[in-house]
Amino acid sequence: MNDTVDKLVIFLAKRDGIDKLVKTFQYVSKLAYWHLEATRPDIARRAKQWEVASGLSRKAFRTGRFLTGFNTIRRSPGSTPTFRFLAVLANAGEMIYFFFDHFLWLARIGVLEAKLAVKMSFISAFGEAFGYIFFIISDFILIREGIEAERKLAVSTEKSMEAKEGIGKIRCDRVMRLMAVAANVADLVIAVADIEPNPFCNHAVSLGISGLVSAWAGCGYYYLTLYPSHLQRLGDLVRSGDQMAEGGRQSRYVKLTKDQAPLEDIKPGELNQPIDIPQLAVRKCNECGQPLPESFAPPADEPWTTGIFGCAEDTESCWTGLLCPCVLFGHNVENLREDIPWNKPCICHAIFVEGGIAVAAAVAAFHGIEPRTSFLICEGLLFSWWMCGIYTGLFRQSLQKKYHLKNSPCDPCMVHCCMHWCALCQEHREMKQRLSDNAVMPMTIVNPPPVQEMSSASDNQDPAPSSANGVEHTNLEMQAL
């Protein structure tokens, strides 16, 4: 555990099992109410009370849950730019869902005004649906990549034990991904029922089945994640099934004996190829030689060359960051990551940050600031603020890891949330000074010694010989002892 946010996330994640259990109670009682409403109204009324109480208790359990998405983006956003982009969108929508769910819960228990419950329910459901769409897209991409990797392993000429273990892991991961997709699709149906009521999604049977699918699929995914030993057993069953299926086929490997000597079929050095052993490929310390853990990162002890408020030191980046921050951010990303052109992060910044501010300003200009439009203005500004801190803070974190820079003055995401334009200018100045073409490296010039020659006694008649270039040589005479 590195910091307080990690400890808080681990504490909150332990309640996922309770949440799925209470969710099962909630939607079972919904189905019971629908079934008994016409025949047993007294029991149906109790089932309805059970449903309402379960839903409110689930919202109370999820207090502070929006920090999970924030920490996921901050710690492990993704391995490729595509997955980082999808992770930011998915977790941002989930953060909006859990954050506004707090106000929905307070409005329904009577702490806030009851009329706010409708608005908070719409914003929360919209964020939920927005996030789950990108979660589903990410899972389908990973499933497709797993199928391609499994196909490559299946058509390989030699099915070693490592290849079979790889196929088993891919299939187990696919099972977990399908569970996650089923849970997210079911939650998407429930969210659509709150955003745009319709006869299909708002029917009691549709909501009940969707809630149970979400609860049980999510419970299975959470259980396998919490206890990976059961996932390993599932992989062993997959491999044993493959071995039983291959048992009736003739083996492609022949045991060589002394009588069998097809030496002409064996290429020189074919049996002497090096074997890759992952256990031996470990990182070691350069000083003491001890192995380092996989999560080891060099300490961030280098200070920034300029301060956070040194914008006036570079007037070009100062005016660009003030008038067109998306352009400055795009060039910063291009300097940091050569595989990403500057126009892609520039467009993303313009859409999510400047776009949210523009929407809020347009609503305030054309419709004024009133209770009906205030939540749209706040939502646009809040979405821009979150995206500004998360999306741009990830690249600031990458810059700090590359040059081992300290937090200046605090966490990268918080810096961009509070001082976004100053942070962009500081990052540009930092990379400009470190990647400057005019930087002069210290160089030591070493002159070679003068050339010395040996001459015989017959050449000793000239008392002061000199070379053509004026360099004196030492004359040596060899005499017999």
Please compute, for residue 396, the number of CA atoms within 13 A of its CA located in the half-sphere on the CB side: 33
Model confidence pLDDT, tens digit, residues 184-206: 898 888 988 888 888 888 888 88
What's the distance, CA 169 to chain centroid? Answer: 21
Please name every residue paired with 405 in a beta bridge, in sequence order, or none if there are none. Answer: 302
- Reported as a single tens digit per residue, the pLDDT across 242-271 is 554 444 444 444 445 545 444 445 555 545
State how far the Cα of 367 lies from the Cα of 362, in Å rounded to an integer: 8
Number of neighbours of residue 350 by Cβ within 10 angstroms: 17
**Which is higher by pLDDT, 363 or 449?**
363
Looking at the whole model, is its pTM more than 0.85? no
Q: Pick the closest to residue 324 from 347, 306, 296, 303 (CA basis).
A: 347
pLDDT of 439 over the 60 cut: no
CB within 8 A of 432, min separation 6: which ones?
314, 317
373 vs 176: CA distance, rounded Å: 42
pLDDT at 372: 65
pLDDT band at 93 (very low <50, low <70, confident <90, very high): confident
What is the average pLDDT value for the chain, to the nearest integer? 75
State how far the alpha carbon of 274 is from the alpha carbons of 20, 270, 373, in Å. 50, 10, 68
State pLDDT tens for residues 15-55. Answer: 777 788 788 888 888 888 888 888 888 898 898 898 888 88
Distance of CA 222 to the CA centre of its chain: 19
pLDDT band per the 50, 70, 90 thresholds, residue 447: low
Nearest-CA neighbor of 95 among 127, 72, 119, 134? 127
Residue written as token pair 């334009």: 421
How far is residue 60 from each of residues 114, 231, 314, 348, measured CA to CA in Å?
Answer: 17, 31, 50, 35
What does the domain layout of the chain look like in residue ranges? 4-241, 311-431
Give all strands (DSSP E) within 161-308, no chain letters. none
pLDDT (0 to 100) of residue 246 = 47
| Residue of 31, 42, 48 whose CA lies nearest to 215 | 31
Q: Residue 475 corresponds to which tokens in the numbers above?
A: 């004359």
DSSP state of 282: -
**Residue that has been written with the tokens 């099934």 in this structure:** 241
Q: How far apart are CA 346 and CA 330, in angstroms?
A: 4
Among candidates 458, 157, 41, 446, which has minimal Cα distance to 475?
A: 458
Cβ pair 127, 93 in contact under 8 A: yes
Question: Tens of pLDDT along 121-175?
Answer: 888 888 888 889 999 998 889 888 888 888 887 776 455 666 777 777 888 788 8
